[in-house]
Amino acid sequence: MRWRIFNEVIKFHVLAYRLTGGLIGKHLPGVPPMLLLEHVGAKSGTKRTIPLAYIEDGKNYVIVASKGGYPKHPAWFHNLKANPETVIQVGQDRIPVTATVATPAQRKRLWPKVVDAYSGYAGYQEKTDREIPLVILKPQA
């Protein structure tokens, strides 16, 4: 039941974000800015969109595969590994990007920045045995 409600909230968030060019949905109280990530199912081939918090790192966008500290990575993470060429929407801008998992050195540099942007990530990391991956979304030239 919780997942059904969560999925309905996500659908509404995506719809409101798209219809308003991010005026509704990009900024929410207590979290970093949000983008819309399009991803294609690794097995199903189904196109999906999910709102995710992000930080900027130069021209790149960094998202966190936390899933709230759940023991498994989120589905979108597996989908991006299988299909790294995708599109994000940041406000009104649709941006083609290539997704890569942060290297250990990149993660070491970026992790404090994502925790600074949203302290909940530190708690999520403590809650799980897996290392929470960071995904770098690099705009395509």
pLDDT of residue 68: 86
Lay out the sheet containing 93-101: strands in order across. 47-53, 34-40, 85-90, 93-101, 134-139, 60-64, 55-57
Q: Which domain holds residue 103?
A: 2-139
pTM of the prediction? 0.94
**CATH number of 109's domain:** 2.30.110.10
Region 49-55: mean pLDDT is 97
- Asked if residue 139 lies in contact with residue 59, where contact means CB atoms within 8 angstroms, the answer is yes
- Based on the structure, what is the number of domains in the chain? 1
